[in-house]
Each structure stands twice: as C-alpha cells, then as structure tokens.
Amino acid sequence: MNPSDADRPPVQRFEHDAMACTFELLLCEPDARYAAQAADEAFAELDRLEAELSRFVPTSDVARINRLQPGEAVAVCEATLECLELADQVARLTGGAFDVAYASDPPAAGEPLMVDRRGARVAVTRAGVRLDLGGIGKGYALDRLARLLRQWDITCALLHAGQSTALACGPGPGGEGWRLPLRDPRGADHTLGHVCLRDAALSGSGRTLHGAHIVDPRAGTAAAGHLAAWALAPSAALADGLSTAAMVLDEAAIRQVCRQADGVAIGVLDERSGRPRWIDPRAAARFTPAGESA
C-alpha cells in the first residue's frame, strides 16, 4: 500500500429500495457506525419523499392532485412545491420538451396547475390533469439526501438512484472527483466511457433498455430522435429533467439549453453513432471513452 492509498478515507456503502429502483449511498466516512446512522436517516427521508411524490401511492400529494376537479385545491408539502417549481423551470428552459403533466387526458394546454406557494396549495385549471414526477423525482430525492448528509457533516459522497441518476459530492476518495460510468443503452453490461465529476450530477435516459417510455409532451408521441441522452448539471433534479427532455430535442435546441443554463452540458447517442456526442464541448474534458486511460 502506498502513502496515497493509506490517506484515502474508507468508503461505506449502503442500499435501499425506493421509487421503483435501488438507491445507493457511498459515503467517505471513517466511522462505520456513524455512516450507518446517517444512511438510515437519509433512507427514512427517501421513504417520506416517495410517500409524498409517487403517483402510485394513493395518499401522496401527487395522487391527490390527480383526483382534483376544476375549482378544487389540495394542501401539499414543501417537497411537492419544490419539485413542481423545479419541473416548471426545466419545462421553460426546454421550451415544453419536459412536462410533468404529459399524461393528462385530454393533453394539458396552457398552465394545468395553479400553485399557491404561500398557502402551500395546488389546484387544477381543467379536468383530466395527471401529474407524473418520474422524470425529475429521483434526482430531486438525491438532492434532498445530499442536503441531509451535509447536516451530518458528510460532504464527500456519491449518491445513486438506480442506473439513471447520480450525484457526486466532494472530491471523492482519491481527491480527483468521482468516476462515473456512462452505460451503453444497447447493452446493460457495457459502458461507453466514464465521466469524472465533483459537486455535480449526471443523469441518463434511453429508449432501448426500457422501451418507448419517454414521450415528447409537445406532440404526444414516443421519443425517437436519440438512442440515449445524458445531462451534466449542478443538481441531480436538473440533470434528471434535462436528460429526459434531451431525448426529444434536436441539436440546436440542446445547444440553446446549454447556453442558457450555467454548469449544464448534454450528450446524445444517435442511431448511427457508436459513442456519445457531447453538444457542449465543456463536457468532453470530463469524459474518457471506453478503452482509454483517464
């Protein structure tokens, strides 16, 4: 063992199933018992968030909003308000390519929700509004967990939400950032390369592993432009939402998003390409293709 290895803090690993995936925490904390206590608190927060944000939980805020009729309103928690505000920001940034009301019947036109931030209440403007926070909820949860871990003075950590979104906090155990694989959507066991991140998030979306599950809310049709898309962003919620939206955006629109949003870079994999094509060149410096040394 060389001196640099001896100086590296141990990484404690914890897992928990929630939001239809397995969340994973890698904590740079020498005290294993303390790390376990922090992870327990984080996972309790995760379960609470799922109970509030999942449309599949009948008592959740989202499920109750989905049962509203025009003229009715429902009280919601702080997490729901924050998540809806973040979703609105991504929708505006992407020109409507991201929309948590995409499943509404008939399709939502205009503003389907009225959000009273001060009163912590949400109303719908028409019948048939159906919210689905699946395109941003996991990323939002990671941001909330990182916030909680900071309260425990754990600032060096890697947080995963399944295989789709990761949040890298601090310098990593080696001091050079966290090395995250870019999964090839055409094969679950293959990677296209690695991205090195510090205090940033990476999220990926694709249409081969899980089928045509991503919808272009502007047209109501399944995403068909790219095989996969990845977004690097300062927060996991933003990365989560942007990787979903990028699946239905063309290169010019993606470039515009990258210009407007600080710290954002987006890459895509199209039908003919064998490797990610980063629309924003700032990401290329952090990406190491498979087979090359970091």
Residues 128-175 pLDDT 10s: 999 999 999 999 999 999 999 999 999 999 999 998 999 999 999 999
- pLDDT of 7 > 70? The answer is no
- pLDDT of 3 > 50? The answer is no
The amino acid sitting at 184 is: D
Say how far apart CA 246 and CA 272 lie, in whole Å.
17
Say how far apart CA 69 and CA 66 lie, in whole Å.
9
CB 247 within 8 A of CB 135: no
Q: What domains, with CATH codes, occur in the chain?
A: 53-135 (1.10.3980)
Per-residue pLDDT reduced to its tens digit, 195-251: 999 999 999 988 755 445 677 787 666 666 788 899 999 999 999 999 999 999 999
Strand, helix or coil for residue 169: strand
Average pLDDT over residues 58-63: 97
Q: How many CB atoms lie within 10 A of CB 9?
A: 14
Tokens of 22: 């397995």
Say how far apart CA 256 and CA 263 lie, in whole Å.
13
Strand, helix or coil for residue 174: coil
- pLDDT bin (cut points 50, 70, 90) of residue 278 is confident
Return the pLDDT at 224: 66
Return the pLDDT at 171: 95
In this prediction the pTM is: 0.92
Closest to 51 measured CA to CA, from 43, 42, 59? 59
Tokens of 124: 């719908």
Average pLDDT over residues 99-110: 85
Residues 6+ apart with CB under 8 A from 251: 268, 279
- pLDDT of 294 > 70? The answer is no
Residues 6+ apart with CB under 8 A from 172: 28, 156, 158, 178, 179, 198
- Report the 3 state secondary structure along 187-203: CCCCEEEEEEECCEEEE
Return the pLDDT at 13: 98
Return the pLDDT at 211: 45
Strand, helix or coil for residue 98: coil
